[in-house]
Structure 1
Amino acid sequence: MAVVVDSLAGMAIARLPLFAVDCPDPAALARFYGAMLDWKIDIVSADRAAVCPEEGQCIVFHRVADYVAPTWPHPATPKQMHIDMLVDDLDAAEAAVVDLGATRHPDQPGPSYRVFLDPAGHPFCLCLE
């Protein structure tokens, strides 16, 4: 049974100023994503860092002492998070993210995108528009 709430039609219930990613080294992951996205890096402490564009949502990285990297596509340890980013040239983008510290995942399920692992093991995709 679907529930319709007319009083909220067209209104957001919440705003999304950031999303948080668990990892073993917040500063390292902030530097990785900051360099890849050309976003400002903010190292708050040894336990928290962020990357932010000039306007829009930020990615925040939180230290987790017992962090276990995902084993995608094997379900032993689920993905935990996944980011798709648009690129104009897959080969050039791949070379750039690998140079930053990413690893190309051996499982590549589609021709219009490529799956990589960030330095903490989170999968992310570079996708053609």
Structure 2
Amino acid sequence: MNSWIHNIFLPNLQKPESVSNKIYESLLEMSSDTSMESLFKTTPLNDFWRRIRDEYPMLGRMALNILLPFPTTYLCKTGFSTYAATKTKYRNRLDAEPDMRLQMSSIKPDINQLMKNKKQFHTSH
């Protein structure tokens, strides 16, 4: 399986069935590198595999190819759920794109600042 991606520094690392002998040699070399082990312990998993790509390009590429589909699937499902919640039978003519952009954005608006900049055009209201 791909358990080596989650912890390459386990003792008695067995050769995964899905890797070639050359990649397994790189795995063994990396697992004996103490500086890599300390980096692994102090860095999030995706960042670790991204950082080691220069020194171990095959391992880094292989690990990231296995790890990356999960976040992209999550974002796709989140987008579809947002779309389904926005575009209901009562709002079927609605252009959902601007609403979805707001709902899916990670930027949080500063409401107080927006209200300070707002000018009232109608004095009667």
Q: Which TM-score applies when normalising by structure 1?
A: 0.21
Q: Which TM-score applies when normalising by structure 2?
A: 0.21
Higher share in helix: 2
